[in-house]
A and B are shown apart, each in its own frame.
Chain A
Amino acid sequence: MMASSYSTKEEDGHPSGASSHGGPGAVKSKKPDNTAFKQQRLPAWQPILTAGTVLPAFFVIGLIFIPIGIGLYVTSNNIKEYEIDYTGADINSSCYSCAKSYSWNSTTSCVCSVEFILEQPFESNVFMYYGLSNFYQNHRRYVKSRDDSQLNGDQSALMNPSKECEPYRTSDGKPIAPCGAIANSLFNDTLELYYVDSNGTRNAVPLVKKGIAWYTDKHVKFRNPGGNNNLTVAFQGTAKPVNWAKPVYELDPSDPDNNGFINEDFIVWMRTAALPTFRKLYRIIQKKSSTTPTLPSGKYFLNITYNYPVLSFDGRKRVILSTISWMGGKNPFLGIAYITVGSMCFFLGVVLLIIHHKYDTRNSSADIPN
């Protein structure tokens, strides 16, 4: 490369220095503009971390965080939560036999029931979750193994699912609807709750199965192909996921608004969890009246239709009953964390204050060694 530093202007001579061709009036001043921006004199706020600003900041943070933490802790403590592990890994567990005997291929379902006692009554609405442990819903291959177009009711995607769904894309030459590993592994245990009242009769606790999914999921993200008219027709030519016992249009034949892709249990499952131990909302137990608790204290039976094997990969299955507050479910960590951080700030503020008073080398005089 030769002349990168060469330009005509230079060769033409009379560069800046010899600018006096015309009279002095013709000389255009090249003086840069005197603007605040160009002269780097923009008005500016110049904050400094002085004791006057930092120390109060620490105390203020402390003073804000500690009450919040206490509030959170108290709220969290008021929430009642009850958890039952029904995996059946333990030989004493009532679901042990189901867990042992179960395989994906078996046609008959295994039912087991767990008995538990609620010490305290659960006021207000109670939320029933199922929890899975060691289940990697956040695995990259798992997460991407779905076709959102198909789930959104796109006809072409229904018949020709995305490649991401492999190996659950087709079955016997027919496209799987819904395709992919997530759908294929849909949690399919059926849970029923019975309250054993004082005279020993089992009363089924009514479980609401709608309203458990995100609004946008239910109404925007998931749509049945061809509307909700005749799902059997709409899904014609597709195959059910390999692990499923019944096709997608029979998920909830009783309610067309909860069938097919917009079945809420399905939607909840499809919203993948961030962590390998997670819980998903299963049912809501609505408060019936203001006088009686939703779940009075006492003895309960949990009836489980055991379909979902987890023991093979050392997984666990739980059922959680919980009330919630304005800030959601039981969450003691948040309150404790707030209290801790708040106190730390306060403590730091005190320590820094001492240090500041003892060791501060700066005096307010303008003496600077040069």
Chain B
Amino acid sequence: MFRKRPPPEEERRVRANDREYNEKFQYASNCIVTSKYNIITFLPVNLFEQFQEVANTYFLFLLILQLIPQISSLSWFTTIVPLALVLSITAVKDATDDYFRHKSDNQVNNRQSQVLIRGSLQNEKWMNVRVGDIIKLENNQFVAADVLLLFSSEPHGLCYIETAELDGETNMKVRQSVSVTSEPGDPNNLASFDGEVVCEPPNNKLDRFCGTLYWRDKKYTLTNQNMLLRGCVLRNTEACYGLVIFAGPDTKLMQNSGRTKFKRTSIDRLMNTLVLWIFGFLVCMGVILAVGNAVWEREVGSLFQSYLPWDPPVDNFLFSAFLSFWSYVIILNTVVPISLYVSVEVIRLGHSYFINWDQQMFCSQCNTAAAARTTTLNEELGQVEYIFSDKTGTLTQNIMSFNKCSINGQTYGEVADPLGPQPKKLDFTPFNPLADPGFCFYDDTLLESVKVGDSHTHEFFRLLSLCHTVMSEEKSEGELVYKAQSPDEGALVAAARNFGFMFCSRTPGTITIREMGQPVTYTLLAILDFNNIRKRMSVIVRNPEGRIRLYCKGADTVLLERLHPCNQELMNITSDHLNEYAADGLRTLALAYRDLTEDEWEAWAESHRCAGKATSCREDRLAATYDQIEQDMMLLGATAIEDKLQEGVPETIAILSLANIKIWVLTGDKQETAVNIGYSCKMLTDDMTEVFIISGHTVQSVRQELRRARERMIELSRTRDGGKEEGTGGWSEACFMGNGVREGQGRDVAGGVKQLQCSPPPPSNLTDNISGEFALVINGHSLAHALEADMETEFVSTACACKAVICCRVTPLQKAQVVELIKKHKKAVTLAIGDGANDVGMIKSAHIGVGISGQEGIQAALASDYSFSQFRFLQRLLLVHGRWSYLRMCRFLCYFFYKNFAFTMVHFWFGFFCGFSAQTVYDQYFITLYNIVYTSLPVLAMGIFDQDVPDHRSLEYPKLYEPGQLNLLFNKREFFICIAQGIYTSVVLFFVPYTVLSDATQSTGVPLADHQTFAMTTATALVIVVSVQIALGTGFWTVINHVCVWGSLGSYFTIMFALHSQTLFRIFPSQFHFVGSAQSTLLQPVVWLTIALATAICIVPVLAVRFLKLALRPRLSDTVRYTQLVRQKKRKAVSRSAGGGWRSAGSVSEGRLGTRGGSRRSGYAFAHQEGFGELITSGKNMRLSSLALATFASRHSSSWIDTLRRKKHTHTHTPPSTSEECSSAPSCVSGSVPPLSNSSSILGGSQDTPIEEDVGTASAQNTQTVPTSSAQTQPALAPDSEATAPQDSALALSTGIFTSPAVRYHGGDSPGGWTVSLGTVQEALFGWKGIAVHTNASNSPGAPSVAKETSQLE
């Protein structure tokens, strides 16, 4: 890492089995070094690093100054002791960190791997693996470096890897070797393999690799499909061989684990500013005193020379003043105490431990405690204003559960009385021994209906068990595991299973299910696959009796239009049900079937075959044929699937918004889904004045929509306010009701002004005037425009006036951009929370990043500053820990500056009486120990343990969080108050002893005005005053606080007596000048009277002011504290349930939810990608699944199976292979036309011209086919297909970068094509994230042209 590199690589050349050749390039070896030091370099390097800190350098500078005798006003040890202490604490911490890094490095570097050297396999340590080596990897081994797959034991050169360490996805991925190298079929031939790879230099792009293999005078293109990256684990593959391309620090894993950006809190920045100010103050003091010194030396000192001649180098008063300036800089340096930074770190560390230790943030299901991964941000948790949340996996569990259904006009699953006792969970086991015990359903009428043998119900569940693309694995007898592509499907199949229609297994041509215990095998004639345009899928099966039937499930909007007219009545009832379900935030699907005659089937099969073999526009022709047969269907019913929210999400969101935190949901999901979730987690409510949807596809339309939204907001709030009160009353109400509360109050005024200047006429003082609750939903493609420089401010001002903002279809990059935008324009503290690799960007760019841990994938948690396993813990993290941290840090800082000013400024006043000679008031030992012993522990104890209100109170009154957001507890004003108080104290501490002692004598007649007595008196008074002050400041006196406060006082007296003892003086007579002064001073009543007087004068005004503040302007926390005291006194349990406020609010809106009716259309439950049906019918995937099956048997400890099993026990059946975003990732390009959208413009797919042509033809074809098939549905359908056509092509692009040509040319059932179309197989199975993201990023610029094209088509 410290190695000097030759100029950055342009390209990498690696020749296999040729170390000499490769050594020329000096590629990094596979040895990784994450440690910073070794034993020899530790001291110098660590010291060097520490002295890069300005504060440390400053103290070093002071130390050097002190070595100059003419300047030295303090002994050298007064600076070096604290400095050494601080340096050594930091050094010990660094050393421990580094020790663990060494350990982990060693462990990794010493792993064994098999390297092919001179034709034979040899065991080598990882660190000795070189670029160009061929290494052998075995099953379940970690890949040692980034290697090019040359040979795999599996057919077709395939091998399977798990990339959890890289991107957090636990699903398996397939890699394939270059065909030529896998051909030999014998690994021994690899010893003589001498191909040369030319490829890109090391980079951190996990999803991209491009290179070329030159072998035997031929060129072979290499892609990421051929690479195994370090950190992956080989699965289901006996062995494979690979050529090391990147090693050690060059690997993608290491390139990705870059140092995370160092985050600073606003308090940190404020502290640094203040420290700079204090430096300025220090210099001013120095200058004043130096001028004083000049005057004094000229007027008095020069005359006084007979007793006190000038030091030899000093020959005039100016030079003396110059020296005196530096002397004063030295003795006044304690206003910026060196222990400040260390103390702050210690306090933060303590707070971090409290977060780690919090039981209430521990999730017992996943056995994960909260973790503060960064220890430097805690107090910022108390100042958060904006939360950016991911949806899937963060707000939702990504678990779908079959919740309700409507069969033949009868709805099931309705819980009769929501207020009644929790109905009993149905027990399926007596009825169906194969039922999944994790499945929950509460309505036994449905089960009765199944038992009775109602034909509709049977047909309903038969459909669910047949019409899907789930695959099953029988792990052991009777234990079936379903692998579904989307969780929705898994939930439906699992439901059917429980109701007696168990899907057992499938082959390319058959589906075997158990109907009420009887195995029945259906012949699978065709799968009419799902895609985002069709929004439905169908299967055509022949039952054992030979009847052919088409089963179809899909979005109600699509399906209900394709029903046979005789269904009208049923359709109306089912529609009502669907609306009800949708209103409850459920994801719905409609189910239908159609009987086909043999002739119909034959005819259609023929046309289908033709379409499938078509060389051009195959996709569209297929779609047209599908459309042809999915007509005149008979409605069966509808299903409602609950996208389960994480526990406590609505409550948490309610509490957080009561705390004035604005929550933005940034999700890759479809708009419908996102809005649905918004409603179900109470971000959006029907109480809201208006929900604005921004989904324009062009810059102009987005701008227009934003403006319109804002104008409407103003208009609405004007009518609202106007109706109530005129004038100021209305205005103030607007301020309080709207979200503009903050903006109205000062600090964002500047921002508003800026907006006025730089943005094209935005309505003035917008945010001030907005009242009422608004929400904004913005689509990814619109967001892309909104984030452009000239629209930024417009977007921010609109969005920030809204109570809730939902951004859907956003890319990871956009997530980060949105966060950056708010950071830039609002100067507010932002927090991003997410669970997936796609959230890493926003987690890193937000002030605070929170990762959901304990779920699949650790990428987000690794990048985060805090991690825990449940979204609901966020309220505790912010409202309890964050609030306390902020409070404690503020109190700590206030007190810290106070005590140092009180301590140091005494020297300033003394300067006027000692000829500005920089004589210290105190004993030098006192100066040394004051900050590190006498006053450090009480303030640390307060900074770590203080609480103003107990934790449950802060959750009960979320408004308590507000002072943090407004930055009320420690700001420049508070700082000046502290400083003023400190100066006041110093004045008292100097002048009270001055006036009292100047004439006072001991009871023996010896005057008390000698320097040592004065020093003792002042020092004792100081220690007592600051102790009383901390006692007043401490609101929560634990044992530790008592020990610290009393202990500090005790230690002061003990140490003083010890230092002034005769014993020490006898040993070092020249070091302890103060011998005996402690005894002789502290025995004097006058001294104690002086101390008491000074203390009273210092404390009484503070007490009075605090009391007045409490009485006249109590803060909410004071009131809460006070009422608590009252309650304690009354010993009366006030029955106020925790969080009563939000609960009642919640129930109100819940009540309304039911009455809303069909105001909102549900997002349909279909979240997966197409291409799956084709795989099933072609049989390609069977090989993989049987292989997987075989390995599952031998690999019981496989983590993802276990994860699955665990989930099965806790929740309903969940398919294992869904990564959280698989539903949305590839389709971010464009949503379907949103029902609420007021835009008709369309976003195209991508820049690639061939694809654009596809877009054209696709939409053209779609629109052409519609009229031929069904004239009556055309008006409703047309906009739909127009909008979704581009998306189709985008999908084709995302899956087709590597493989789509193959798909086109080889057709559906050609077995020869399957190795080449591997990409499709794999990505369809496991979700394609990387390329989808890649596509998304590049899609926006192409938009206008495509839009134009499509409009021409219209």
Is A162 among interface residues, defined by CB-CB distance under 8 A?
yes
Is A249 among interface residues, defined by CB-CB distance under 8 A?
no
Partner of B1127, one of A43, A345, A366: A366
Chain A residue numbers with a CB within 8 Å of B1125 are 46, 48, 50
Give the residue name and chain of the B residue nearest to A14 (CB): B1199
Is B1193 among interface residues, defined by CB-CB distance under 8 A?
no
9-residue interface stretch from A110-118, A195-203, A230-238, A331-339: A331-339
Interface residues on B, range: 35 or more
Excluding A20-B1206, A326-B1085, 18 further A-B contacts by CB distance (< 8 Å) are A2-B1, A5-B258, A9-B104, A16-B366, A16-B367, A32-B369, A43-B1039, A44-B1038, A50-B1125, A154-B1069, A220-B1066, A272-B1011, A281-B1006, A313-B306, A324-B1001, A329-B1000, A331-B999, A341-B1096
Query: Is there an interface contact between A46 and B1111, defined as CB atoms closer than 8 Å?
Result: no
Is A291 among interface residues, defined by CB-CB distance under 8 A?
no
Is B1110 among interface residues, defined by CB-CB distance under 8 A?
yes
Is B667 among interface residues, defined by CB-CB distance under 8 A?
no
Query: Is there an interface contact between A13 and B233, defined as CB atoms closer than 8 Å?
Result: yes
If A221-B1076, A272-B1011 touch, whether A324 touches B1005 (CB-CB below 8 Å) is yes
Q: What DSSP secondary structure best describes chain B's contact surface?
A: helix
Q: How far is the CA of A330 from the CA of B1086 in the complex (A)?
A: 11
Give the residue name and chain of the B residue nearest to A308 (CB): B307
Is B40 among interface residues, defined by CB-CB distance under 8 A?
no
- A1-24 CB contact bits vs B (8 Å, 1 = yes)? 111111111111111111111000
Partner of A136, one of B304, B354, B1089, B1106: B304
Give the residue name and chain of the A residue nearest to B1062 (CB): A220
Is B1090 among interface residues, defined by CB-CB distance under 8 A?
yes
B144 to chain A, nearest CB (A): 11
Q: How far is the CA of A328 from the CA of B1010 in the complex (A)?
A: 14
B1000 to chain A, nearest CB (A): 5
Chain A residue numbers with a CB within 8 Å of B1231 are none
Chain A residue numbers with a CB within 8 Å of B32 are 3
If A2-B249, A17-B855 touch, whether A312 touches B1076 (CB-CB below 8 Å) is no
Q: How far is the CA of A137 from the CA of B913 in the complex (A)?
A: 10
Query: Is there an interface contact between B913 and A275, defined as CB atoms closer than 8 Å?
Result: yes
If A216-B1079, A356-B1111 touch, whether A274 touches B1013 (CB-CB below 8 Å) is yes
Query: Is there an interface contact between A309 and B1069, defined as CB atoms closer than 8 Å?
Result: no
Between B1002, B1096, B1127, the greatest number of chain A beta carbons within 10 A of the residue's beta carbon is seen for: B1096
Is B1123 among interface residues, defined by CB-CB distance under 8 A?
yes
Is A49 among interface residues, defined by CB-CB distance under 8 A?
yes
Is A61 among interface residues, defined by CB-CB distance under 8 A?
yes
9-residue interface stretch from B357-365, B377-385, B629-637, B1173-1181: B357-365
Chain B residue numbers with a CB within 8 Å of A279 are 999, 1007, 1009
Q: What DSSP secondary structure best describes chain A's contact surface?
A: loop
9-residue interface stretch from A34-42, A88-96, A255-263: A34-42
If A48-B1122, A334-B1086 touch, whether A278 touches B1007 (CB-CB below 8 Å) is yes
Nearest 5 interchain pairs by C-beta = A216-B1076, A8-B104, A274-B1014, A38-B357, A18-B1199
Q: How far is the CA of A346 from the CA of B658 in the complex (A)?
A: 44
Chain A residue numbers with a CB within 8 Å of B1037 are 44-47
Q: How far is the CA of A3 from the CA of B250 in the complex (A)?
A: 11
Q: How far is the CA of A296 from the CA of B998 in the complex (A)?
A: 27
A113 to chain B, nearest CB (A): 25
14 CB < 8 A contacts A-B: A6-B257, A14-B1199, A16-B367, A20-B1203, A30-B368, A44-B1037, A163-B69, A181-B308, A221-B1076, A274-B1010, A278-B1010, A279-B1007, A328-B1005, A370-B958
Q: How far is the CA of A141 from the CA of B312 in the complex (A)?
A: 12
Q: How far is the CA of A44 from the CA of B1128 in the complex (A)?
A: 14
Is B996 among interface residues, defined by CB-CB distance under 8 A?
yes
Query: Is there an interface contact between B1009 and A273, defined as CB atoms closer than 8 Å?
Result: yes
B1203 to chain A, nearest CB (A): 7
Is A147 among interface residues, defined by CB-CB distance under 8 A?
yes
Query: Is there an interface contact between A54 and B1107, defined as CB atoms closer than 8 Å?
Result: yes
Query: Is there an interface contact between B1086 and A3, defined as CB atoms closer than 8 Å?
Result: no
Give the residue name and chain of the A residue nearest to B1084 (CB): A328
If A3-B254, A328-B1008 touch, whether A19 touches B367 (CB-CB below 8 Å) is yes
Query: Is there an interface contact between A333 and B1075, defined as CB atoms closer than 8 Å?
Result: no
Q: How far is the CA of A216 from the CA of B357 in the complex (A)?
A: 54
If A2-B1, A272-B1011 touch, whether A27 touches B1096 (CB-CB below 8 Å) is no
Q: How far is the CA of A47 from the CA of B327 in the complex (A)?
A: 43
Give the residue name and chain of the A residue nearest to B305 (CB): A313
Query: Is there an interface contact between A215 and B1080, defined as CB atoms closer than 8 Å?
Result: yes
B236 to chain A, nearest CB (A): 16
Query: Is there an interface contact between B1089 and A68, defined as CB atoms closer than 8 Å?
Result: yes
Query: Is there an interface contact between A11 and B862, defined as CB atoms closer than 8 Å?
Result: no
9-residue interface stretch from B238-246, B1113-1121, B1282-1290: B1113-1121
Query: Is there an interface contact between B1003 and A328, defined as CB atoms closer than 8 Å?
Result: yes
9-residue interface stretch from A170-178, A298-306, A357-365: A357-365
Chain A residue numbers with a CB within 8 Å of B994 are 275
If A38-B354, A216-B1079, A344-B1100 touch, whether A138 touches B1107 (CB-CB below 8 Å) is no
Is B1012 among interface residues, defined by CB-CB distance under 8 A?
yes
Q: What is A's interface to B at a CB cutoff of 8 Å?
A: 1-21, 27, 29-34, 38-40, 42-51, 54, 57-58, 61, 65, 68, 72, 104, 125, 127, 129, 134-143, 145, 147-149, 152, 154, 157, 162-163, 166-167, 181, 184-185, 211-217, 220-221, 271-281, 284, 309, 312-314, 322, 324-331, 333-334, 337-338, 341, 344-345, 348, 352, 355-356, 359-362, 364-366, 368, 370
If A7-B101, A166-B312 touch, whether A31 touches B362 (CB-CB below 8 Å) is yes
9-residue interface stretch from B401-409, B457-465, B823-831, B914-922: B914-922
CB interface residues, B 947-986, toward A, < 8 Å = 947, 951, 957-959
Q: What is B's interface to A at a CB cutoff of 8 Å?
A: 1, 32, 34, 36, 69, 73, 100-101, 103-105, 107-108, 142, 164-165, 231, 233, 249, 253-255, 257-260, 300-301, 303-304, 306-309, 311-312, 327, 353-354, 356-359, 362, 364, 366-369, 658, 853-856, 858, 862-863, 884, 913-915, 917-919, 945, 947, 951, 957-959, 992, 994-1015, 1035-1041, 1062, 1065-1066, 1069-1070, 1073, 1075-1077, 1079-1080, 1084-1086, 1089-1090, 1093, 1096-1097, 1100, 1103-1104, 1106-1108, 1110-1112, 1114, 1116, 1118-1123, 1125-1127, 1134, 1136, 1141, 1197, 1199, 1202-1203, 1206
Query: Is there an interface contact between A17 and B917, defined as CB atoms closer than 8 Å?
Result: no
Q: How far is the CA of A16 from the CA of B373 in the complex (A)?
A: 14
Q: How far is the CA of A181 from the CA of B1011 in the complex (A)?
A: 16
B127 to chain A, nearest CB (A): 13
Q: How far is the CA of A329 from the CA of B1039 in the complex (A)?
A: 43
Query: Is there an interface contact between B957 and A370, defined as CB atoms closer than 8 Å?
Result: yes
Query: Is there an interface contact between B1100 and A18, defined as CB atoms closer than 8 Å?
Result: no
Partner of A2, one of B254, B1008, B1069, B1090: B254
Chain A residue numbers with a CB within 8 Å of B1062 are 216, 220
Partner of B914, one of A45, A140, A154, A215: A140
A165 to chain B, nearest CB (A): 12
Q: How far is the CA of A138 from the CA of B916 in the complex (A)?
A: 10
Q: How far is the CA of A329 from the CA of B1011 in the complex (A)?
A: 18
Chain A residue numbers with a CB within 8 Å of B1069 are 148-149, 152, 154, 221
If A214-B1080, A221-B1075 touch, whether A4 touches B34 (CB-CB below 8 Å) is yes
Query: Is there an interface contact between A167 and B303, defined as CB atoms closer than 8 Å?
Result: no
B1255 to chain A, nearest CB (A): 41
Q: How far is the CA of A295 from the CA of B1070 in the complex (A)?
A: 42
Give the residue name and chain of the B residue nearest to A4 (CB): B259
B1145 to chain A, nearest CB (A): 11
Query: Is there an interface contact between B1 and A47, defined as CB atoms closer than 8 Å?
Result: no
Q: How far is the CA of A327 from the CA of B34 in the complex (A)?
A: 69
Query: Is there an interface contact between B1123 and A127, defined as CB atoms closer than 8 Å?
Result: no
Q: How far is the CA of A309 from the CA of B368 in the complex (A)?
A: 83
Q: How far is the CA of A13 from the CA of B1084 in the complex (A)?
A: 70
Q: How far is the CA of A191 from the CA of B233 in the complex (A)?
A: 99
Q: How far is the CA of A54 from the CA of B1199 in the complex (A)?
A: 63
